[in-house]
Chains A and B, each alone.
Chain A
Amino acid sequence: MRNAVWLGILLAAAVALPWAAEAAGQPATIGLATRILCLGIAAASLNLILGHGGMVSFGHAAYYGLGAYTVGILWEHFRLGEPLWGLIPGTNQLLITLPVSVLVSGVVAAAIGALSLRTTGVQFIMITLAFAQMLFFLFVGLKAYGGDDGLLIRRRNIVPGLDLREQDQLYWLCLGLLVAWLTLQWRIVGSRFGRVLEGIRQNERRMAAIGIATYRYKLAAFTIAGMGCGLAGALTANYLRFVSPDLMAWQKSGEIMVMVILGGVGTLLGPVIGAAALVGLEYALGGVTEHWQFFLGPILLAVVLFAPGGIMGLFRRG
């Protein structure tokens, strides 16, 4: 009950943020908050496999980048007026680009997961990284879509009833999708599927012994996580109006993982709080000194050494 009240207050504050930012004369905050929401979805999706399934994927940014590039490539073909491979017409309709991004990321995640899940432990960490690096270099080499330099999206996608050029409307869209994604993930974690996943994290051999085909459950979770991250990427592409291979670089995967650990592994809101903390710290320290990473590093270290369980862990103990 207390949790529900807190969630309500938090949500109300999040909804009211654009008005507060305008009133305080800090409209730039809205953009910052939108970035947090996008990364929050990405981190939450990673948390599904990392926190609940015990699968440490070090290549999660691949799906982030794929989601973003789907929006970018569809825009590029829309702009040029020529279909992709002579078949698929480009579009700038968000109601099409978002589902396509989710679908593309999901299909690729299913393929990568099907191969990667044959390994476990450190090897799994490294093979997911390897696949992400392959995609990264593929997009670096695709000159047709900007290669290294990335691809500019002149206009944000169009949705009936919304004007995404207004930054507060984009913010509310992202907020709505974040809440929808968290709700979905909460339902998944609470379902039989989620219990099985939790069981696999704790002891995969035991789950297999009671007759559960663990590989299929892990693959399904891996695919769902990839789809969530694709959604986050598609929103990010709309926010930045720019996509580049950097979105799927291994540093990005590391960053998303850091958000999950910083916020609290295996908690519902932890990844979002981790995203807010990391982006907020970057912004706050970046305002003081250009060498903000010099201070962020030791802060992360301190979190690991003195606050296991991340920020959510602090709350729970207090």
Chain B
Amino acid sequence: MALIVEQVLNGLQLGVTLFLLAAGLTLVFGIMGVINLAHGSLYMIGAFAAALVAQAAGSWWLGLLAGVAAAAITGMLIELVVLRRLYARNHLDQVLATFGLILFFNQGITILFGRQPLMVALPAGFQGSIEIWPGIPYPSFRLLVIAVGLLVAAGLWFLIQRTRAGMLVRAGATHREMVRALGVDVRLLYTLVFGLGALLAGLAGVMTGPIGNVQVGMGEQILILTFVVVVIGGIGSVRGALLGALLVGVVQTLLSGFVPGWLRQVMPGSEADALGAALSSMGVYVLMAVVLLWRPRGLFVPHA
């Protein structure tokens, strides 16, 4: 019982991290029609900037600010310098260009920091565990991650559904030409949306820092999962991204938590672990294939 609760919470924590990444990606996808493979690089940049500042300043919270700011600024620079020229191009050119960006950023970080993973200390006050249920302790930092993720989700909902900027974003996702025709400065809107997406990606990177390793290539590992989330949720739908992220996070965590154990009952330990890890990694892709075969455009389709 305790194990299941713990795994579900771990799944939620992975889920909200994925949501932070997927929210930006799905907006950029839905509104600008751009496939941005370099979204994972922004996640990496956020994590590295936060790790660096946290070490130098001795405060995780200053690192948080630095990481988020670094990712947002890099994101807007990418939009201004590169992606702006690619909106009218086909997906292939976008894939090639952002693939180039990945190589550039990964190698740039390698030059600056080397290949050794950076360790980030847990912030003061969040080092211990909290007893969430009698007899079930859970690390408080992971609870913080979940809380931040859910807060961001609520904030995004408010921003998109209840503000003027959000109205433009929604309109831009479904009736791009009409928004342009009404005289909205679409270029500025695009840059800001991209910056917001980058900021959230950076936040995801910062929040992952103390739990996982901060290293080159961390962006690509999670990028593919993020794409799975975006496609399952329906491209352009933030609601879909949240649902898809939680679904993928929980399914992935539960499978990798329990499948090796089941397999160990029928085959030798080391083989069971290897096959179990493989099967649980396959799980989310099976989930995505099934969702797409059932609903070719994802769970939530913004009305077009």
Contacts of B108 in A (CB 8 A): 294
Taking CB atoms and an 8 Å cut-off, the chain B residues in 72-103 that contact chain A are 82, 85-86, 89, 91-93, 95-97, 99-103
Main secondary structure of the interface of A (DSSP, over half): helix
Say whether A137 contacts B289, CB under 8 Å: no
Say whether B95 contacts A130, CB under 8 Å: no
Q: Does B177 contact A (CB under 8 A)?
A: no
Expressed in whole angstroms, the Cα–Cα distance for A305 and B111 within the complex equals 26
Contacts of B103 in A (CB 8 A): 293-294, 296-297, 300
Say whether A294 contacts B292, CB under 8 Å: no
Expressed in whole angstroms, the Cα–Cα distance for A308 and B90 within the complex equals 11
From residue B245, how far is it (CB to closest CB) to chain A in Å? 15
Contacts of B97 in A (CB 8 A): 300-301, 304-305
Contacts of B276 in A (CB 8 A): 141
Contacts of B93 in A (CB 8 A): 261, 304, 308
Say whether A296 contacts B92, CB under 8 Å: no
Q: A291-B110, A294-B107, A299-B100 are in contact. Are A118 and B91 (CB under 8 A)?
A: no
Expressed in whole angstroms, the Cα–Cα distance for A303 and B103 within the complex equals 15
Say whether A300 contacts B289, CB under 8 Å: no
From residue A33, how far is it (CB to closest CB) to chain B in Å? 24
Say whether B293 contacts A258, CB under 8 Å: no
Q: Does A215 contact B (CB under 8 A)?
A: no
Say whether A115 contacts B277, CB under 8 Å: no
Query: Of residues A125, A140, A291, A294, which shows the largest number of chain B Cβ atoms within 10 Å of its Cβ?
Result: A294
Partner of A137, one of B105, B220, B281, B298: B281
Contacts of A250 in B (CB 8 A): 224
Q: Which of B15-23, B178-186, B267-275 contacts A (4 or more CB under 8 A)?
A: B267-275
Say whether B231 contacts A122, CB under 8 Å: yes
Taking CB atoms and an 8 Å cut-off, the chain B residues in 280-300 that contact chain A are 281-282, 285-286, 288-289, 292-293, 296-298
Chain A: interface residue count, which band?
Answer: 35 or more
Say whether B106 contacts A293, CB under 8 Å: yes
Which residue in chain A gives the minimum CB-CB distance to B280? A137
Say whether B99 contacts A119, CB under 8 Å: no
Expressed in whole angstroms, the Cα–Cα distance for A293 and B115 within the complex equals 14
Contacts of B151 in A (CB 8 A): none
From residue B90, how far is it (CB to closest CB) to chain A in Å? 9
Q: Does A131 contact B (CB under 8 A)?
A: yes
Say whether A123 contacts B278, CB under 8 Å: no
Which residue in chain A gives the minimum CB-CB distance to B108? A294
Q: How many residues in B have their beta carbons less than 8 Å from beta carbons of A?
A: 50
Q: Does A175 contact B (CB under 8 A)?
A: no
Say whether A133 contacts B224, CB under 8 Å: yes
Say whether A300 contacts B227, CB under 8 Å: no
Say whether B224 contacts A129, CB under 8 Å: yes
Q: Does A298 contact B (CB under 8 A)?
A: yes
Main secondary structure of the interface of B (DSSP, over half): helix
Partner of A126, one of B106, B227, B277: B227
Q: A261-B92, A308-B93 are in contact. Are A301 and B282 (CB under 8 A)?
A: no
Expressed in whole angstroms, the Cα–Cα distance for A148 and B273 within the complex equals 13
Q: Does B138 contact A (CB under 8 A)?
A: no
Say whether A141 contacts B275, CB under 8 Å: yes
Q: A118-B293, A127-B292 are in contact. Are A297 and B102 (CB under 8 A)?
A: yes
Expressed in whole angstroms, the Cα–Cα distance for A133 and B105 within the complex equals 24
Expressed in whole angstroms, the Cα–Cα distance for A262 and B97 within the complex equals 11
Expressed in whole angstroms, the Cα–Cα distance for A141 and B111 within the complex equals 33
From residue A20, how far is it (CB to closest CB) to chain B in Å? 31
Expressed in whole angstroms, the Cα–Cα distance for A279 and B73 within the complex equals 33
From residue B53, how far is it (CB to closest CB) to chain A in Å? 24
Q: Does B171 contact A (CB under 8 A)?
A: no
Expressed in whole angstroms, the Cα–Cα distance for A123 and B247 within the complex equals 18
Partner of A123, one of B82, B275, B292: B292
Q: Does B104 contact A (CB under 8 A)?
A: yes
Say whether B292 contacts A119, CB under 8 Å: yes
Q: A141-B278, A258-B96, A301-B101 are in contact. Are A56 and B107 (CB under 8 A)?
A: no
Q: A123-B296, A297-B100, A298-B104 are in contact. Are A147 and B281 (CB under 8 A)?
A: no
Which residue in chain A gives the minimum CB-CB distance to B271? A143
Contacts of B227 in A (CB 8 A): 126, 129
Q: Does A27 contact B (CB under 8 A)?
A: no
Q: Does A265 contact B (CB under 8 A)?
A: yes
Q: Does A134 contact B (CB under 8 A)?
A: yes
Say whether B279 contacts A141, CB under 8 Å: yes
Please, could you name 5 A-B residue pairs with CB atoms under 8 Å apart, sorted by A? A118-B296, A137-B278, A143-B270, A262-B96, A265-B92
Q: A130-B285, A137-B279, A301-B104 are in contact. List 18 more A-B contacts (CB 8 A).
A: A50-B92, A56-B92, A119-B296, A123-B292, A130-B288, A133-B224, A134-B289, A137-B285, A140-B274, A250-B224, A251-B220, A257-B95, A261-B93, A261-B96, A291-B107, A300-B99, A301-B82, A304-B96
- Counting from the closest, the 6 A-B pairs by CB-CB distance are A141-B278, A297-B104, A300-B100, A297-B103, A294-B107, A130-B285
> B interface vs A, CB < 8 Å?
29, 35, 37, 82, 85-86, 89, 91-93, 95-97, 99-108, 110-111, 220, 224, 227-228, 231, 235, 270-271, 274-279, 281-282, 285-286, 288-289, 292-293, 296-298
